[in-house]
Amino acid sequence: MLPLSLYDSIESAWCPGCGNFPMLKAFKQALAELEIRPQDLVVVSAIGQSSKFPHYLKCNTFNGIHGRALPVATGIRLANPGLKVVVTVGDGDQYGEGGNHLLAAFRRNPDLTLVVHNNQIYALTKGQASPTSDQGTKDTLHPQGVPYPPLHPLALAVAQDCSWVGRSFAGMPQHLTEMYKKALTHKGMAFLEVLQPCVSFNKINTYEWYRQRVYEVETRPDYAPGDELWAYRVAKEWGERIPIGVIYLNPRPTLEESFPQLKDGPLAGRLPERPLAELLAEFS
């Protein structure tokens, strides 16, 4: 196991009590146990409090524009399959602005890990409803309450045949560490949603609110993550009982395996077959 201090970076600027803190600690623990070195890791994010996550890690990072982390991460992975590529984004960023990229990634199955911090609000801009806010949630944009039901991202992932779908909770560090490890070692797209309370702008979905509701899905007597219809029904479960754990497993060929150009190894470091000036001349 590698030392946790290997991944230390600058001090964070999150609010005291933010769910991002246990997420960062559990992520470092998973990296250390899996012995993934900082130089072999790329963490990609976009915009939001969750997207500050790579700022506080010592590794390769890319901080892009709102909702666009997945296409950047996919490009990095295609260029250099030797890197472990992780995307860390928020519910507003990925399910809102980045919704179309999410659908494309589920379908393409790039070999990367997507971690969505779901606090059911836009925290960076001080608490507007996000696609996962419960119906009736009141905020500055919806003083009479959000009039429509929330998105079910895990059910969407199952319906789109994402090859690994799971959920954890920031208030259960050991469970979260194990889920990170399972997602990081999956071949293909691993989609891990983490229920992450926002102590400043969401006074409803608190740590205690989740502790009264989450249960480990593997304890179900009918546990069958390889069964699509079973997984879809479980992924839709939300309210008095909220499942956490591995909900869907659908091993299939990755995006990288569909490119014959990559059969001889990564593009990174490979010399072009023709001079660059000659290629550019074709488009002048």
Helix/strand/coil (H/E/C) assignment for every residue in 171-234: CCHHHHHHHHHHHHCCCCCEEEEEECCCCCCCCCCCHHHHHCCEEEHHHCCCCCCCCHHHHHHH
Q: Is the model's pLDDT at 75 over the cut of 80?
A: yes
In the predicted model, what is the mean pLDDT of the chain? 94
pLDDT (0 to 100) of residue 14: 94
CA distance 124 to 47: 8
Q: What percent of the chain shows pLDDT beyond 90?
A: 83
pLDDT in tens, 226-237: 999 999 999 999
Tokens read off for 244: 């956490």
The predicted-structure confidence for 149-198, as pLDDT tens digits, reads as follows 999 999 999 999 999 999 999 999 999 999 999 999 999 999 999 999 99
Query: What pLDDT score was predicted for residue 272?
Result: 75
The H or E element spanning position 45 is strand 41-45
